[in-house]
Amino acid sequence: MLTTMLIGLFVALVTAEVTGVVPGGLIVPAYLALYLNQPGRIAATLAAAFLALGLFRASARYVLLFGRRRFVFLLLAGALIGQAWFLIWPSLLPASLDLRVIGWVIPGILANNLARQKMIRTLAALAAATVATWALAEVIALF
């Protein structure tokens, strides 16, 4: 796990420096790479990030949200959506569907980067950095 996290930080930093697009935050690709074999958890995390982003955009019409306020709002919204997901989702579907959100801050960090950058570019950089992190971690695990 530590190796994957360090590789993920390195890959995300290189991606951000080379392309100018932060791949959803510097730690997000590493966490997604850890759960790449559980696509339901990645889908739930992306859904929570998009819900937090939607809540931010709806709230930004009435409240001044920029800079630190935006970041904290999105972190809190992502964490609250993740917790609500954890409490409500199991009662809606069978337990065999593992659709839990990854971490408390990952959806908020991802939502913050989606709010700051263009969505398609951010998601493309996130996908590339996640797969590169996973591949490098697998290669290193062979040795």
Residue pair 62/56 in contact (Cβ under 8 Å)? The answer is no
What digits encode the pLDDT tens for the residues 111-139? 999 999 999 999 999 999 999 999 999 99
pTM of this structure? 0.92
What digits encode the pLDDT tens for the residues 54-101? 999 999 999 999 999 999 999 999 999 999 988 887 777 666 567 889
Length in residues, the chain: 143
For residue 76, count other CB atoms closer than 10 A to its CB: 15
What digits encode the pLDDT tens for the residues 19-67? 999 999 999 999 999 999 999 999 999 999 999 999 999 999 999 999 9
Three-state DSSP state, 24: coil
> Is residue 13 over pLDDT 70?
yes
**All structural domains of the chain with their residue ranges:** 2-142
Q: Angle CA(62)–CA(65)–CA(69) in degrees, nearest 5? A: 140
